[in-house]
A = this chain, B = another copy of it.
Amino acid sequence: MLKNYLLTPGPTPIPPRVLETMARPIIHHRTPEFQKIIQEVEEGLKYVYQTKNEVLIFAASGTGAMEGSVVNLLSPGDKALVVRGGKFGERFGEICKAYGIEFVAIDVEWGKAVDPKKIDDILKKDKLIKAVYTTLCETSTGVATDIETIGKILKNYEAVLVVDAISGLAVTPIKTDEWGVDVCVSGSQKGLMIPPGLAFVSVSPKAWTLVERSALPKYYFDFKAYKKALGKTDTPFTPAVNLVIALREALKIIKEEGLDVIFDRHKKMAFSVRSAVKAMGLELFSPDVYSDGVTAVKVPQGIDGEKLVKTMRDKYGVGIAGGQDEMKGKIFRIATMGYITPSDLIVCLATLETVLLEMGYKFQLGSGVKALEELLR
């Protein structure tokens, strides 16, 4: 008999209160009842986003909203600046390429964060750049980007700032309005604690002016159609009804706890994970620019990283994530996002210790869990 634990950076575990809403009979989406729900969700998202901007809701995974933030802002001949320091930063470049948008890439070594000054340097020289694409928390590496500083730089330019906050929203602060984030992209299956299938963007007045003149083709992700529907049918196409209803419940939980408490809790949990793995003699993959949502740890020499993740999952029921793409087998990732609690971390670290011991890694058994216990008290 196994009890399953999910400590992956999306999907994250779903609180029972939220799960329960999805087992209720479905309702029709073009009714005052659903309209009230989706308007509550829009208000709740504005709270989490810390914005007064419109937040648009798509039935899609996060990538759909990333595509939306390219095809709605740019026009043929425009250029983009893309910060690529992991799988998801790279995705923005792939989308630009698919739509024939030339882009300047800042390639950041995986595990490092972009130096905001580099963005300033490029924008100074290249006036064709209309949008800067960056990532709040790069899920593939556990790196956090200094969006606040980038936002300050962008205020001197016409270009808009687009932030993929899929892995950071409701985990770590993202002050959309205060920091000048023009388009903030997010998804449902991380800090928002519901299943994947919803994606969101907030759109600033500055970004709307680009949307108005954008000449790239789009239909399903056409921001203008979603804006037009707000307050009327609320979505231009059939929404993912039961995920929206689940999100209302999750947002209630978030409001009850309060953003500041949530950010503080994630910060403490991520700090505890970092301390625990270090106490086991393990090395962090991004020691200086870590995010509070996911911690990437180097697989120690001589250990099969993929086998480690598989054994934890299949033999002990504890799901963590391996490395993606070029990091496959070289790192493993422990999430501290949403409904992942200290008790999950205790089980996770104890299991990590057990499996590493089985696999021949030399360390003091119990050292990770002890460090956790000291910090989580």
Contacts and interface: CB of A to CB of B under 8 A. Distances in A.
A239 B196 contact: yes
B14 A217 contact: no
A13 interface: yes
A25 interface: yes
Nearest to A100: B217
A239 B63 CA distance: 11
Contact of A23 (B4, B6, B8, B19): B19
Interface string A22-55: 1111111101000000000000000000000000
A242 B60 contact: no
A238 interface: yes
A319 interface: yes
A196 B241 contact: yes
Interface residues of A, number: 52
Contacts of A321: 28
Chain copies in the assembled complex? 2
Interface in A86-120: 94-95, 98-100
A61 B59 contact: yes
A220 interface: yes
A285 interface: no
Contacts of A4: 25, 27
24 contacts: A4-B27, A6-B28, A8-B28, A11-B28, A11-B238, A13-B26, A14-B26, A23-B23, A26-B195, A59-B59, A59-B60, A59-B196, A59-B197, A61-B239, A61-B240, A62-B237, A63-B237, A63-B238, A67-B219, A67-B220, A195-B241, A197-B240, A216-B217, A220-B221
Interface of A: 4, 6, 8, 10-11, 13-14, 19-20, 22-29, 31, 59-64, 67, 94-95, 98-100, 187, 189, 195-197, 216-222, 237-243, 313, 319, 321
